[in-house]
Structure 1
Amino acid sequence: MRENIYFYFMLTHILFILSLVLLWFNTTTATSHGHHLVDVAGQAVHKCIEKERQALLDFKAPLHDPYDMLSTWRPEEEDCCQWFGVTCNNQTGHVTELALYGGPYTGSLEGEITLSLLNLTYLTHLELYDNSFHGTIPKFICSMTHLTFLSLAYNEFTGTIPESIGNMTQLTHLDLSENKFSGVIQESIGSLTKLTYLNLLRTNFSGTIPRSIGSLTKLTDLYLNYNKFSGTIPMSIGSLTKLTSLDLSSNKFSGVIPTSIGY
């Protein structure tokens, strides 16, 4: 009888020790599962996708970065979700936001936007505000149709807005202000019917404001000031009944202000 009690005691003791060892092991390690890590509770811990990490490194490679804004973007750092300006989806690890703004270091990043961004297929937010990107807006950006937020403001872009910008139908925020564009605004901009914010301040555009702008009926903010627009203000602006901010000043308009403007 005493031997049975002793055996039961020892077995219980051994099982208890084994359970402690397993608990320690599970809490200090993670099991690889695709591009995720799985913690002790079985929840996915995000880690960036290798293809997207390489896309970011390729985007960085040709840029001049005098203030080391992208100092955390190093090949030896495997998890790009921890890099400056990068936001990932916690469940999937996909890069969803890229926000690189000069901040106190105006003009921090200099160069052109490269094709590698197309490999960020889950990107919804692209903000390159207040840098020194130059050249024309690449046409491939207009194929990034998952974007809901695009800001290329305060850079040195030239040329015209691609006609294909009308493909970016998920955009709610578009800011191209303070650049060195030329030419006219394409009529295709009227296809961006989800826009609530449109800023083209000081973009050097000329010609007339396209009538299609009246299709942007969800706009609450519209800034077309300090450009070279001429002709009459289109009556279609009167369709923008949700506007709370409108600035058309410092242009070369002629004729009268449409009576339909009374937001």
Structure 2
Amino acid sequence: MSVFLLLEGTTYACLEHERIALLQLKPFFNHYDELVDWDKPKGSDCCRWKGIECNTTTRRLVGLTLNSTRDSSEGWYLNASLFLPFVGLKRLYLRGNAIAGCIENEGFEKLSSALGNLEILDLSVNLLNDSVILPLSEFSSLRYLSLAFNQLEGSSHSNGFRWFSRLLNLGTLDLSWNPLGNDIMFQLSSLSSLKNLSLRSIDLEGELLHIQGLNNLTNLRYLDLNSNSIESILNKDETQLRLANLERLDLKSRSVGSELECIKGMFPHCLGNLTSLRELDISNNQFSGNLSPLQTLTHLHTSLSKNRLQIPTSFVPLVNLPNLKFLYGDENNMVMEPSLHTSIPKFQLNVISVKVHNISRTQC
């Protein structure tokens, strides 16, 4: 009988104070009635509510997803203190809610000590400005931070993104689609823990005078510079990228109206320094020259489409790349060589596309 009473008195529902805290959040994130099930009677299991993830043992809330649950037509200011009860929170997604900042004295700085387990924070597609940088730098447990599609400039604060050097566990940072400009390269040079960095469409332009700062990011595996207006990835003093662990590099350029904003000049030999590179996308640029910088990249598959490169019909520069599975080389210059090469390629391509308008012949 005593055993029966013990089992009947045991609850596997969420913690009551966290259930109450969720109900206090609901009015701010329920514009589209997305949270209709957040209205159960006392004792109901909020771990079963939409967007909620709980630890199966402690029943504490560990994941909270509130993406696009607020009308995005008008900016508003968040009371971040509403998240204080969720001390076990590891993942918080607030994407697409038109958050313009926080109520005075109720910002993210109030959360850093209470949410000491927070590892993933997604604040993308909001209206946040540089005032959020310093408070977020205090979340020492963060491993993933997305601030894409906001209004960050990085230069309106004395230290800008240098504050993020405090985030010693941060592996992924997405700053895409913010008007940051070239200075961001220098500001990020101390974020040595980064493995994945996305700087897509952040108004990089011309020569990247501080690109050598990225060489300090020795753990970097993925670098996205897609859709900028870069003209060169070499400094005036010819400082080069030397990211020995980089596996993916995206340098694809963008079109603005009928104009193509792209990287011009000779195919950079510094790419040959990236010896761990597996994926390279330089499409939609105006690189010229030959493919010799790729000869040392034995792990590579690549997209070279829409450039001005000279690709030999023998593919000699690529024959020693045993891991090459995909090659996209459309709209370049195919070149017939004067002598027949007998090298047997080490690669076994799954996909190859080299559509060209004409084939030229090299001189003897």
* TM-score (ref. length: structure 2): 0.49
Deviation of 1:26 after TM superposition, in Å, equals 1.3
Q: Distance in 2 between matches of 1:229 and 1:28?
A: 66
Paired amino acid for 1:191: S
Contact 1:52 1:94 in 2 (8 A): no
Contact 2:185 2:214 in 1 (8 A): no
Q: Does 1:259 find its partner at 2:305?
A: no
Q: Does 1:157 find its partner at 2:151?
A: yes
Contact 1:166 1:191 in 2 (8 A): yes
Paired amino acid for 1:145: S
Q: Does 1:134 find its partner at 2:133?
A: no
Q: Distance in 1 between matches of 2:183 and 2:198?
A: 15
Deviation of 1:158 after TM superposition, in Å, equals 2.8
Deviation of 1:57 after TM superposition, in Å, equals 7.7
Deviation of 1:188 after TM superposition, in Å, equals 4.2
Deviation of 1:183 after TM superposition, in Å, equals 5.8
Give the superposed CA RMSD.
4.1
Matched with 1:123 is 118
Matched with 2:188 is 189
Structure having the higher helix fraction is 1
Task: Report the secondary structure of 1:158's partner residue.
Answer: coil
Task: Report the secondary structure of 1:198's partner residue.
Answer: strand
Paired amino acid for 1:66: H
Contact 1:145 1:168 in 2 (8 A): yes
Matched with 1:174 is 173
Paired amino acid for 1:165: F
Contact 1:96 1:125 in 2 (8 A): no
Q: Distance in 2 between matches of 1:187 and 1:46?
A: 49
Structure 2 CA distance for partners of 1:135 and 1:74, relative to 1, 3 Å: farther
Structure 2 CA distance for partners of 1:65 and 1:178, relative to 1, 3 Å: farther
Contact 1:144 1:168 in 2 (8 A): yes
Q: Distance in 1 between matches of 2:140 and 2:230?
A: 28
Q: Distance in 1 between matches of 2:16 and 2:269?
A: 54
Matched with 2:142 is 147
Say which is worse superposed, 81-90 or 202-211, in terms of deviation: 81-90
Structure 2 CA distance for partners of 1:228 and 1:245, relative to 1, 3 Å: closer
Deviations 1:94-126 (A, max 9, x none): 6554544449x9874112353244332211111
Paired amino acid for 2:168: T
Contact 1:65 1:109 in 2 (8 A): no
Task: Report the secondary structure of 2:215's partner residue.
Answer: helix
Q: Distance in 2 between matches of 1:211 and 1:95?
A: 42
Contact 1:99 1:126 in 2 (8 A): no
Aligned residues: 225
Deviation of 1:59 after TM superposition, in Å, equals 7.5
Q: Give percent identity, aligned residues only.
A: 22
Q: Distance in 1 between matches of 2:38 and 2:203?
A: 34
Matched with 2:248 is 244
Task: Report the secondary structure of 2:223's partner residue.
Answer: strand
Unaligned 5+ segments in structure 2 are: 73-94, 155-159, 255-260, 278-364
Deviation of 1:149 after TM superposition, in Å, equals 0.9
Unaligned 5+ segments in structure 1 are: 1-20, 31-36, 38-44
The 5 A counterparts of 1:1-263 are: 21-30=1-10, 47=14, 66-69=31-34, 84-90=50-56, 96-102=62-68, 108-114=96-102, 115-116=107-108, 117-118=111-112, 119-129=114-124, 131-136=125-130, 138=132, 139-153=134-148, 155-160=149-154, 162-182=161-181, 184-206=183-205, 208-229=209-230, 232-233=233-234, 235-247=239-251, 249-250=253-254, 258-262=268-272, 263=277
**Structure exhibiting the larger radius of gyration computed from Cα positions:** 1
Q: Distance in 2 between matches of 1:242 and 1:53?
A: 46
Contact 1:101 1:128 in 2 (8 A): no
Q: Distance in 2 between matches of 1:52 and 1:212?
A: 46
Q: Distance in 2 between matches of 1:60 and 1:25?
A: 35
Paired amino acid for 1:208: L
Q: Distance in 2 between matches of 1:219 and 1:24?
A: 56
Contact 2:226 2:251 in 1 (8 A): yes
Structure 2 CA distance for partners of 1:229 and 1:245, relative to 1, 3 Å: closer
